[in-house]
Chain A
Amino acid sequence: MSIDYNDKISKAVQQVPPSAIRRFFDVAAEMKGHVISLSIGEPDFVTPWQIREAGINSLIEGYTHYSPNAGYTDSRQAICDYLKRRYGVSYDYKHELLITVGGSEGLDLAARALINPGDEVIIVEPCFVAYKATVLFAHGVPVVVETKPENNYKLMPEELEAAITDKTKYIIIGYPNNPTGAVMTLEDYAKIRDVLLKYPDIVVLSDELYCELNYLDSRPASLTQFSELRDRVVMVNGFSKSYAMTGFRIGYVAGPSELIAPMVKIHQYCIMSAPSTAQFCAIEAAANADAEVAKMREEYNHRRRVIIKGLEDAGLSCFTPYGAFYAFPCIKSTGLTSEEFCERFLIEKHVAIVPGNAFGACGEGFVRISYAASMEDIKEAMQLLKEFVEELKKG
């Protein structure tokens, strides 16, 4: 008698399919020769030195123990100061901020803190793959709102309102957006606020990991900036993308104490505390790295324009992205599906990109191209993309 694992593994876990992105990495890893990767969703920059040094110094001084559950006071204070300086929003570091293991923990904490089985959570797709998964793991029901290129992938107020039911618990919004590179301005958010004011019970989880990578306006725009929504917007943020600190695993959630407290409760039982060394790095990043971030933003912006030009030259239509480090061109004119396109591009031209359907069904017909890569690689990949599309069109 062998064990029936299907019977053992939680149905909530089983219903989440394996990541579609993963398969491409596996193919790429097995390929011989040089593969240019424009597939990775993390900065290619190494973390600015003074941030790394802050971590090293904390180790030299022997800060190797647990921090308080919610994070060191100094780290929380530094993050609150940063949010005040950059967003113009005040949070009380004692009750309204929790330091997490990356932004991802914040998504999971919110799902577990808020969802009762059967509660609906509105997810704005295409989006980061973890939104739906965290909701499903917590026995919630994801309700998808699809954004469209003709609306610059912004969340439209009427589309949001149409998805709201009496079971809606919260909504997850992520701008600047992975995978489209779309941004929402404060004026765009004001329209969303107007809808939310009609539904005072709905909580908002605003994923702002890419907040510093906005090429329209270097100041972050966010629903947290509307004081009338203050009692129900939770910001998920972190250092991974903005400061090139992915490996440090350091993020935070900020919001009203009534919503942060239950998240702290889960965090203290499951995680204990975020890595202490990384929290020291976070202090340095939040307090003293604006110039380094500006330098990376400028470099990304140059690459972004090169990518947009490359897509134009290749004859692929693409809405102009103004945030994060992704472009999301349409490949429908080639007659291939997203997965076929990416697989053949990888095998025939040795360039790895990610099929758009990995980020939601509405991403079918699109591909995600990351410009967190060197300018040389980007230029070479764009040349190869042009050749590839021309060959496809010739048949």
Chain B
Amino acid sequence: MIDDIELLRLIENNSRLSYEEIATMLGTSASEVEQEITRLKEENVILGYTTIINWEKKAPDNCIGMIEVRITPVKNKGYDHLAQVLSKYDKVTACYLMSGGFDLMIIYEDKTLRDIATFVTEKIATQEGVLSTTTHFILKKYKASGVIYDNPERDDRQAIIL
């Protein structure tokens, strides 16, 4: 029996592991791992596989905006309707319903500050039900997706009798 939480933790940290490798690490067979992963995909628990990239090294001018949006919930649909509409934009990389002083947190990535400003004024502010927006820009990433940036691995363990 596979512990599916353990399996998910494992592939969340490294999605490139083969079924065989996962099977060895969990003490089971590759076919059982494949079955389990298929099931988790079918249940929409596993949604996709990505690579964590430090884009600041390859496209240092790219911009990320975190946009707080206050909205009026739509009758019968609550907050979902607007959230789903805004999520459809490719450059919206995340959309959350929040507690606190605003309702939706939109994370939006584009080439320039101007692009993000345009998105906010033309695509978000104009939506029916949007009351106000506040846009923050990310200046530097220190940690994202659980990974600390610029954290070179080193092993400083010394020879000692043990």
Binding site for B on A (CB under 8 A): 19, 21-22, 25-26, 28-29, 37, 40-42, 44, 128-130, 178, 298, 302-303, 305-306, 309, 374
B126 CB, min distance to chain A CBs, angstroms: 44
Residue B74, interface by CB 8 Å: no
Residue B140, interface by CB 8 Å: no
B25's contact among A28, A130, A302, by CB below 8 Å, is which? A302
The answer for the CA separation of A374 and B160 in the assembled complex, in Å, is 19
Which 10 residue pairs across A and B have the least CB separation, nearest first?
A41-B162, A25-B159, A302-B25, A19-B161, A309-B24, A40-B157, A305-B27, A21-B161, A305-B24, A306-B24
Residue B155, interface by CB 8 Å: yes
The answer for the CA separation of A22 and B161 in the assembled complex, in Å, is 6
- Majority DSSP secondary structure for residues of A touching B: helix
Size bracket of the B interface: 10 to 19
B4 CB, min distance to chain A CBs, angstroms: 14
The answer for the CA separation of A42 and B162 in the assembled complex, in Å, is 8
Binding site for A on B (CB under 8 A): 6, 9-10, 21, 24-27, 153, 155, 157, 159-162
Residue of B nearest to A178 (CB): B162
The answer for the CA separation of A29 and B26 in the assembled complex, in Å, is 34
Can you name 24 A-B residue pairings with CB atoms under 8 Å? A21-B161, A21-B162, A22-B159, A22-B161, A25-B159, A26-B159, A37-B157, A40-B157, A40-B162, A41-B162, A42-B157, A42-B160, A42-B162, A44-B157, A128-B162, A129-B161, A178-B162, A298-B6, A298-B9, A302-B10, A306-B21, A306-B24, A306-B25, A309-B24
When distances are taken between beta carbons in the complex, the residues of chain B under 8 Å from A40 are 157, 159-160, 162
Residue of B nearest to A22 (CB): B161
The answer for the CA separation of A37 and B9 in the assembled complex, in Å, is 27
A359 CB, min distance to chain B CBs, angstroms: 10
Residue of A nearest to B22 (CB): A302
When distances are taken between beta carbons in the complex, the residues of chain B under 8 Å from A309 are 24
Is there contact, CB below 8 Å, between B162 and A305? no
When distances are taken between beta carbons in the complex, the residues of chain A under 8 Å from B162 are 21, 40-42, 128-129, 178
The answer for the CA separation of A128 and B160 in the assembled complex, in Å, is 13
The answer for the CA separation of A28 and B155 in the assembled complex, in Å, is 15
When distances are taken between beta carbons in the complex, the residues of chain B under 8 Å from A44 are 155, 157
